[in-house]
Amino acid sequence: SVAVYCSSSSQVHPHYRAVAREVGAAIARSGRTVVYGGGRLGMMGEVSKAARGAGGRVVGIITTRLRDSEQLDPDNHENIVVD
């Protein structure tokens, strides 16, 4: 597994979002699982979407508060909700 921790803000330059997609796809192609903050926004969201798109497994770990504010990405293979 590879843990990914980066911006969840949507206020990120498009270049960095593209790099995040490249990283996600590369992790998936390497056969590793992406473990990240569980949301669908920002660069972390780009990493997770790209990893899934390349056939990779994605596990999200998200707080109850963020899940309840509808930031959880329901397309992850597994989501772990913590306090």
Per residue in 28-58, pLDDT (tens digit) is: 999 999 999 999 999 999 999 999 999 999 9
Contact assessment for residue 53 and residue 25, using Cβ atoms and an 8 Å cutoff? yes
**Other C-beta atoms lying within 10 Å of the C-beta of residue 24:** 28
Give me the pLDDT at residue 32, please: 98
The pLDDT-based confidence of 8 (bands split at 50, 70, 90) is confident
pTM (2 d.p.):
0.93
Q: Exposure string (b/e) for 59-73, b if CB count within 10 Å is 16 or more?
A: bbebbeebbeeebbb
What percent of the chain is predicted at pLDDT more than 90?
Answer: 92
